[in-house]
Amino acid sequence: MTPIRNAVAVCAALLAIVGFASGLQASPKLWQGHGWKTDFSKSEVPFEEILSGGPPRDGIPSIDEPMFKPVAENADYADREPVIALVIDGVARAYPLSVLTWHEIVNDTIAGKPVAVTYCPLCNASIVFDRTVDGRVLDFGTTGLLRKSDLVMYDRQTETWWQQFTGSGIVGEMAGTELDMIPSRVVAFADFKERHPDGAVLVPNDPAARSYGRNPYAQYDTRAAPYSLFKGDLPEEIEPMARVIVVRHDGEITAVEMSHLREQGTLETDGLEFSWREGVASALDSSMIRNGRDVGAVDVVDAETGEPVVHDVTFGFVVFAFHPETPVLTAAGLTPLTVRR
């Protein structure tokens, strides 16, 4: 990408951040005028909740032909840099957030399983999905739209729109369908190298295409509230930008405030074991991700089997937006959330 096109991409991200596009509500007629072939007669959510995030469809381009290097040969990532660690059938890969910040979706196949590795910076949600649905492999891209400040993905086979935080089809042919989530963790690159010396790490296809390593959302996670792109209520009992661990296991959702786990070191609840360790930089703090403050890493396993379970670390406002009836375990105990007055 030329410097001019790179600057355009950065400006598009910044436009979304400051909220210039937050008032651009859309409708099926407008979306169809932009070329969408989505079946808008099928919807699980009100259309008015879906807003433009700034960039157009695929303006934040997914990575569809990912490239990897052995971790033993890679010196481009700092030890503290956050990476999504994914292990399937003994094959281990790391997906640095310094790359995913600029692409948000990686369509990959690991140990023969098609997966979508996703990251929504505005929600700090790192989630991996199985791309096979009803026997069909889907390829995912970015719509350029947001709902409740969360990435709305689409699949290129049916142009169904999918909510990244929940994995739910929200508009289109597959509305109401749920993508299967796959356990993953956000860890320090050094931790991944230590645990998986034979693993591989994602590298940019074109290192000059984006400002890889930079964080266009500097100081986002120390704000008092999310950007104005979020249209919704904020919780009273926890800070909107407080990190919260959300676990999806056996059809249930468990939420734990990360500061509480950090104080305890380990805890057990709902048949789950949580642990925290230091050493991971925030991807949403410093202008350079490798220099972000230490927010630590989380492990969550089934207390009986010791097997890893699906979880991610998001913000308090996101939990309240998507799971308003889910209480959050805090230092004060199990705390129901209510609307901030």
* Neighbouring C-beta atoms of residue 72, cutoff 10 Å: 12
Find all residues with CB under 8 Å of 45, minimum gap 6, and list them.
Answer: 147, 163, 170, 171
What is the predicted pLDDT for the residue at 11?
42
What is the predicted pLDDT for the residue at 25?
56
Alpha helices in the chain (DSSP H): 3-18, 28-33, 97-100, 189-195, 258-264, 316-322
Tokens of 93: 């890969």
* Segment 158-169, tens digit of pLDDT: 999 999 999 999
Q: What is residue 258's DSSP assignment?
A: H
The full DSSP string for 23-86 is: T-B--HHHHHHTT----TT-BSS-GGGEEE-SS-TTSS--BSS-EEEEGGG--SS-TT-EEEEE
Please, what are the averages of pLDDT over each run of 10 residues along the chain (341 residues)?
41 43 66 96 97 94 98 91 98 98 98 98 98 97 98 98 98 98 98 97 96 97 96 96 97 97 98 98 98 98 97 98 98 97 83
End-to-end CA distance of the chain: 47
What is the predicted pLDDT for the residue at 15?
42
What is the predicted pLDDT for the residue at 26?
67
* Cβ–Cβ < 8 Å for 241, 316: yes
Q: CB-based burial of residue 218 (10 Å sphere; 0-12 exposed, 13-18 middle, 19+ buried)?
A: middle
Q: Where are the domains of the chain?
A: 3-182, 220-335
What is the predicted pLDDT for the residue at 20?
41
* Segment 237-255, tens digit of pLDDT: 999 999 999 999 999 999 9
Nearest to 144 by CA among 45, 16, 5, 7: 16
What is the predicted pLDDT for the residue at 37?
97
* Cβ–Cβ < 8 Å for 131, 116: yes
264-270, long-range: CB < 8 A, 24+ apart? 267/329, 268/303, 269/329
What is the predicted pLDDT for the residue at 327?
98
Global pTM value = 0.93
